[in-house]
Amino acid sequence: MTDLLILVPELVLVAVALALILVARHVRRAQIAAASVVVAAAAAALSLWFFPLDNPRTGFGGTIAGDGYARFFNILFAANLALAALFSVRHLEEEHVPPAEYCALLLLASTGMMLAASAVDLLILYLGLELMIVCSYILVGITRDRLISNEAALKYFLLGSFASAVLLYGIGLVYGVTGATDFAAIARGLTERNLARDPLLLVGVALVAGGLAFKIAAVPFHAWAPDVYQGASAPVAAFLAAGSKAAGIAAVVRISSTAFAPERAILSDILVALAALSLVVGSLLAIAQSNMKRLLAYSSIAHAGYALLGLISGTAEGASATMTYAFVYAFMTLGAFGVVVALGQRGEELEGYRGLAYTSPVTAALMFLFLLSLTGIPPTAGFAAKFAVILSAVRGGYVVLAVLAVICSVVSAFFYLRVAVLMYMTEPEGSAPGRFPVAVSAALAVAAVVTIAGGVFPDALTAWTVPP
């Protein structure tokens, strides 16, 4: 019974997903979206109830943890699910997407994310990530009449399958050397048997890191992100940009803090390379983009680099900073994509933002807020989160990398604020955007509140972070 209690949030999501498929013909689109929001809230509440901070526990033979770390990310994934469902109301109607199947896929993908955050065994981690990514393949291509979506889904499937194979092969090598797949046993094996110099283990660690780097779109495993974000519908792109990246970060934090902690030296070198490449490539390539979803895709690549900064030093403070960054990034990215959703087809190209402040001042103000946060300008949550991870790198002795992060942040200001210039300093073209659905407005309001509150009260969010 204790084992099942650890999986209650995931079981609730799975049960509702199956129920939606069974009653698909008897419910409306709005009812299905509302059900997804209610279930997401229930999963978050159950995580708070069953995962107390003062009594962490494991289940299923020590392979799944019910602790404060899992609770933190479960709440984030539940919020991501709720906001993505709200953003999808218009999309389901305009694109004639089967609503029950669509929301079931959102629920099952979120289940995989939660399972990945709770996993303390490499095989359970792999199952959680695969559940998430298989559902993501279908979500990207669910608008079957759009050729660009079909192309994006195929690219995502091919690259994702390769990355999954790399991750699984790395898990196999780690098991072959240590004789274990659960994180605690791996750490004990590395320490007691002095396996730090084993070449097969080093290859296994590198392959596992590469497989997880794909999930967070870190360079050089980033090639899928721009095409997938552009080809997917805006709500799906928002769901993936926030959720899949957070799931990958959750896995990286737990593995680096537990299983591979004795291999800190080699792991830090890998993380330094991934972070530096992601910062430079993501920031520079975003400058040339004219499509808003591609711009946000390259932005997400750069933000993967910022998130990794907190893990390089191997301290609990750094892990906490990375957790905070994942949380903040999810909301400001959901907000930015939410504006794209609200504006419809017009919002997918940068030219569609010309004069937006004159025709829709509230929408322009919201987008400006999210862009400021993505840039890292106070008093937004993005500034507080970015400051924390850079400070962690400095305290760990990686001053050069921290300086590179600051320089890339300055570069990012150019392409983020270019959108602001178009909104506030150019004449409007075309008619004013129509009235937004209530669901979309509500989701944007939530994202805006979190983005502001996280900057004004940064310590309140950090207090919730419980590193593994």
Question: What local confidence, expressed as pLDDT, does residue 73 receive?
Answer: 94
Smallest Cα–Cα separation from 392: which of 402, 384, 382?
402
CB 229, CB 135: distance < 8 Å? no
Smallest Cα–Cα separation from 359: which of 372, 346, 349, 371?
346
Cβ-based neighbours of 74, under 8 Å, separated by 6 or more: 9, 43, 44, 47, 51, 114, 117, 118
CB 456, CB 347: distance < 8 Å? no
Least confident piece of the model among 13-17, 191-195, 323-327: 191-195
Q: How far is CA 211 from CA 61, 150, 340, 369, in A?
A: 25, 24, 30, 33
pLDDT digits (tens, 9 = 90+) for 433-465: 667 778 888 999 999 999 999 988 888 888 788
Q: How far is CA 116 from CA 79, 111, 394, in A?
A: 16, 9, 30
Question: What local confidence, expressed as pLDDT, does residue 6 receive?
Answer: 85
CB 422, CB 357: distance < 8 Å? no
Quickly state the pLDDT bin for 179 (edges 50, 70, 90): confident
Q: Is the pTM of this model over 0.75?
A: yes
CB 261, CB 187: distance < 8 Å? yes
> Which tokens belong to 361?
């001042």
pLDDT at 168 over 60: yes
Question: What local confidence, expressed as pLDDT, does residue 297 receive?
Answer: 92
d(CA 79, CA 171): 30
CB 323, CB 117: distance < 8 Å? no
CB 340, CB 234: distance < 8 Å? yes
pLDDT digits (tens, 9 = 90+) for 297-310: 999 999 999 999 99
Q: How far is CA 344 from CA 95, 175, 275, in A?
A: 12, 48, 33
Burial of 36 (0-12, 13-18, 19+ CB in 10 A): buried
Stretch 106-114: mean pLDDT, rounded? 95
Cβ-based neighbours of 332, under 8 Å, separated by 6 or more: 370, 373, 374, 380, 381, 382, 447, 451
Residue 57 is classified by DSSP as E
CB 247, CB 129: distance < 8 Å? yes
> Which tokens belong to 328?
């903040």
Cβ-based neighbours of 109, under 8 Å, separated by 6 or more: 131, 132, 135, 136, 139, 239, 243
Question: What local confidence, expressed as pLDDT, does residue 383 receive?
Answer: 93
pLDDT at 126 over 70: yes
> Which tokens belong to 318?
């750094």
- 352 — phi, psi (to 5°)? -70, -10
Which residue would you say has higher pLDDT here, 73 or 53?
73
Stretch 107-133: mean pLDDT, rounded? 94
Question: What local confidence, expressed as pLDDT, does residue 81 receive?
Answer: 94
pLDDT digits (tens, 9 = 90+) for 29-47: 667 778 888 999 999 999 8
Share of the chain above pLDDT 70, in %: 96
d(CA 427, CA 410): 27
Cβ-based neighbours of 81, under 8 Å, separated by 6 or more: 13, 36, 39, 40, 43, 106, 107, 110, 239, 243
Residue boundaries of the structural domains of the chain? 2-462
Mean pLDDT of the chain: 88
What single letter denotes the amino acid at residue 138? I
Question: What local confidence, expressed as pLDDT, does residue 122 receive?
Answer: 94
pLDDT at 362 over 80: yes
Quickly state the pLDDT bin for 194 (edges 50, 70, 90): low
What radius of gyration, in Å, describes the C-alpha atoms of the chain? Answer: 21
pLDDT digits (tens, 9 = 90+) for 235-282: 999 999 999 999 999 999 999 888 888 877 788 888 999 999 999 999
Q: Per DSSP, what are the bridge partners of residue 59?
A: 64
Question: What local confidence, expressed as pLDDT, does residue 47 receive?
Answer: 87
